[in-house]
Structure 1
Amino acid sequence: MHYRKLGNSGTIVSAYALGAMTFGMEADEATSHKILDDYTAGGGNFIDTADVYSRGISEEIIGRWLAARPEVRDQVVIATKARFPMGDGPNDFGTSRFHLGRALDASLKRLGIEQVDLYQMHAWDRLTPLEETLRFLDDAVSAGKIAYYGFSNFLGWQVTKAVHLAKANSWAAPVTLQPQYNLLVRGIESEIVPACQDADIGLLPWSPLAGGWLAAKYERDTEPTGATRLGENPKRGMEAYEARNAQERTWQIIDTVKAIAADHGVSAAQVSLAWLAAQPAVTSVILGARNQEQLADNLAAASLELSADEIEKLTTVSAPVLAEYPYGTAGERQRFRPMPGS
């Protein structure tokens, strides 16, 4: 396992984090604890959850795991999030001081810890002034309830605004951003990645395998079935089968991933993860697992080193097409790629 700084902080985390969204839903408590044991035994030290995951059950499962292994607490970095509804009341969501104060205390109680190492705003809140949210987070840092804070699903201008507001008021600064990012979804490279690089904010990509697409689980023109994300619901959100199946780019990417995987004798998932971990500004790639076998395969990506030529092939075949101003010119389709050395 390789280790990196947590964004612009001095804390060190593993290049692959363990996402706990499956805990209490796709993985029961016993399975979740085994996944946590295997992850830490493999050198992982960064666990990411959220209050909304299974309505607090994911945090409770992690809390009981930590309680049974007190020696582990000082070795792992615990991240959680708040923003989405945890009740039916008008203040049971958002990033207001009112809601976050209660949400943070509830997360600390469920996790059984005194401090959240990384507290993340799960999404932008257009109702709450950003100054109110940032001041709360600064106060929480001063009070010792959180060590650092970050964002998830923010746009580039939202990240930049937060960074400059924090600096102007001498408040604690954000250290990370958690966006969707993978070989199929690279739109963040146009604005969000540069904004994070400018502020030295680390990326924590979620959905690195695009719901199983980049693990080569699905076949062209054959609607998936069985115990996979899309097998259980082929119309699932942004990962929906019909739309992606219709795009030739999808299958060009998957074919390239499979060819490189065959050359190395590894899984397609490992190649997809290794490419993402090698991208500029990425601090730690968030792995989700339903079982120990899935985690073991994904964690093996930590020992896979792709050549510069292989990374270039994957980068080229997956380049997003941006046809409209200002990223392209009228009548032309321009492929956006990060600047060399960025």
Structure 2
Amino acid sequence: MQYQKIGNTDIEISRVILGCGNFGGIGSIPSLFGQGENEEQAHEILDAAVRLGITTFDTADGYGGGRSETYIGNWLNKCDEKVRSNIVLSSKTYNPMFIGDSKGLSKERISKKIDGTLHRLGIKQLDMYLSHEMDNETPLEETLSCFNELQKSGKIRAYGASNIDCEQLEKSISICENLNLNRYEWVQNSMSLLNYSEAEKVLQICSKYGLGFTPYSPLAGGWLTGKYQQGLDYERGSRMTLRPEPYGNFVRHQDSISDGLNSMRKISKERFGNISIAGLSLAWLLSDRRITGIIIGPRKSEHFEPIHEALNTRLNETDRIDLANLFPLL
């Protein structure tokens, strides 16, 4: 495993981060709460992650309506101190936790939600806290000031933003400078070989200001594993059967994606000892040192194998360019 400090903090994270969005639900969708991994299955995945050297877990109060945080907290409670002391926890807030719950990033809401997160995780201080989405109804000044207050009170060590665009990020940095506030330390946006153009723009800003960057969905919801093939039904329980909406653009470009994956297999065989296309996709991200860590969401023990491959594969700049050129800018 590789480790790296995030942003300008002293927080060291594993460069592979365990995403826990399927614990007790499928993301933050209330209609899917109670699905995904049950607590026993979640604990098995957490155990497997630690065996691989993963020290950093990413969750959110909206994942499974709080179940994800609860499962992690219960797992931590049964771990010995040596394991527990090495774990770095990241959580997020914005989405409703139940039907009828509020959403957003107002000071009142964040101040309430952080206490619930700390309680469910069974901790007194959260290492990393993120806004899960941007809130157009709440002034950025209010949200940023609230995160700073949480730092001063000792409830969080650092904060970041997920699903933020270039304009919002630049504005946030400017506000923090003008108000003498601590700024975001990292950004968590979607990025993979199938959608890297917009992420690259944000990544350049992060690099300019010394912020960390931890992309989620590095396998594009499973599309970079090759399991979604034309003419075949989607696997039951997969993202394409439970939550297909984010991947509509991939469906529309399925022919070109299929061609790109076939070319990937050829490159893998010729240059990298025939590792899986999933492993090569992860290695492509990890080979960019501007990326602090990637968030993966394995649902079975065998899903960890591409991570092993990626950590043991080195790409040069020619490899990176060749792989990126295999796919259209979707």
- Asked if TM exceeds 0.5, the reply is yes
After TM superposition, list the pairs within 5 Å mapping 1:118-129 onto structure 2: 118-129=128-139
Counterpart position of 1:81? 92
Partner residue of 2:30? none
Is 1:56 paired with 2:63? Answer: no
State the alpha-carbon separation in 1 of the partners of residues 142 and 306 from structure 2: 43
Deviation of the 1:87 alpha carbon = 4.0
* Match 1:173 to one of 171, 179, 183: 183
Moved more, 100-109 or 250-259: 250-259
Mapping 1:24-43, distance limit 5 Å: 24=24, 25-43=35-53
Alignment of 1:191-210 (within 5 A): 191-210=201-220
Can you list the C-alpha shifts for 1:293-337, whole angstroms capped at 9, x where unaligned? 11243344222223443222102223627xxxxxxxxxxxxxxxx
Match of 1:118, SS?
strand
Q: Distance in 1 between matches of 2:208 and 2:9?
A: 15
Asked if 2 retains the 8 angstrom alpha-carbon contact of 1:46 and 1:79, the reply is yes
Q: Does 1:104 align with 2:111?
A: no
State, as a whole percentage, how many aligned pairs show the same letter. Answer: 31
Secondary structure of residue in 2 paired with 1:301: helix
Query: Which residue of structure 2 lines up, in the alignment, with residue 237 of structure 1?
Result: 245
Note the C-alpha offset of 1:262: 3.2
Q: Tell me, yes or no, if the aligned pair for 2:166 and 2:201 is still in contact at 8 Å.
A: yes
What TM-score results when the alignment is normalised by the length of structure 2?
A: 0.90
Equivalenced residue count is 317
1:254 and 2:261 equivalent?
yes
Preserved contact between residue 288 and residue 295 of structure 1 (Cα < 8 Å): no
Q: Which residue of 2 aligns with 1:144?
A: 154
1:61-105 Cα shifts (integer Å, max 9, x gaps):
000010111412320110000001124557x22100110011000
Deviation at 1:221, TM superposition (A): 4.3
TM-score by length of 1: 0.87
CA RMSD of aligned residues (A): 2.0
| Secondary structure of 1:150 counterpart | strand
| Structure 2 letter corresponding to 1:218 | Y
Query: In 2, distance between residues paired with 1:190 and 1:283?
Result: 14
- Maintained 8 Å contact 2:191/2:199: no
One-letter amino acid matched to 1:318: F
Give 1:250 deviation, angstroms: 1.5
Q: Which residue of 2 aligns with 1:279?
A: 288
Partner residue, 2:29: none
Determine if the alignment matches structure 1 residue 184 to structure 2 residue 191.
no
Tell me how far 1:193 sits from its aligned partner: 2.0
The alpha-carbon deviation at position 39 of structure 1 amounts to: 0.8
User: Structure 1 residues 298 and 229 mapped into 2: Cα distance closer, same or farther (>3 Å)?
Assistant: farther
Given that 1:257 and 1:268 are in contact with CA atoms closer than 8 Å, whether structure 2 keeps it comes out as: yes
Contact 1:216 1:258 in 2 (8 A): no
Q: Distance in 2 between matches of 1:157 and 1:192?
A: 9
Q: Is the 8 A contact 1:27 1:291 kept in 2?
A: no
User: Which stretch shifts more, 160-169 or 122-131?
Assistant: 160-169
Task: Select 2:104's aligned residue among 88, 94, 100.
Answer: 94
* Equivalent residue number for residue 13 of structure 1: 13
Q: CA deviation at 1:245?
A: 5.1
Equivalent residue for 1:115? 125
User: Match of 1:293?
Assistant: 302
CA displacement, residues 185-215 of structure 1 (integer Å, 9 cap, x when unaligned) = 1132463222222221111111111111101
